[in-house]
Amino acid sequence: MGGFTRAASLPVAPNGSMGQLIGLVHRVPIALKKQYTYMREVQHWSDFTIILGVLAVPVIAGMCVCGGGQVGVGAGGGGAVYVWV
């Protein structure tokens, strides 16, 4: 008699590797929204500060990689501040 048979595995089944990857991709915007809300409401950061912080990460990483890891800040005459790579 027929009985139960195992269901065919779909490539995007929730318990499959592809389904888990898709779930991870869909969780990223939610995590970013929670982090943004935390910085705005708990830390009281402005949008400008958040944007500068987000943009500073790849800039500093690029300066470290392209500059051979030698990033420095120095004060010049007249109160000017210089950044060299």
pLDDT 10s digits, 30-68: 999 999 999 999 999 999 999 998 898 888 877 777 765
Cβ contacts of 79 within 8 Å, gap of 6 or more: none
Whole-angstrom Cα distance, residue 7 to residue 28? Answer: 30
Q: Please, are residues 85 and 70 in contact by the beta-carbon 8 Å criterion?
A: yes
19-40 mean pLDDT = 91
Residue burial 5-32, b: 16+ Cβ < 10 Å; e: rest: eeeeeeeeeeeeeeeeeeeeeeeeeeee
Q: Please, are residues 48 and 40 in contact by the beta-carbon 8 Å criterion?
A: no
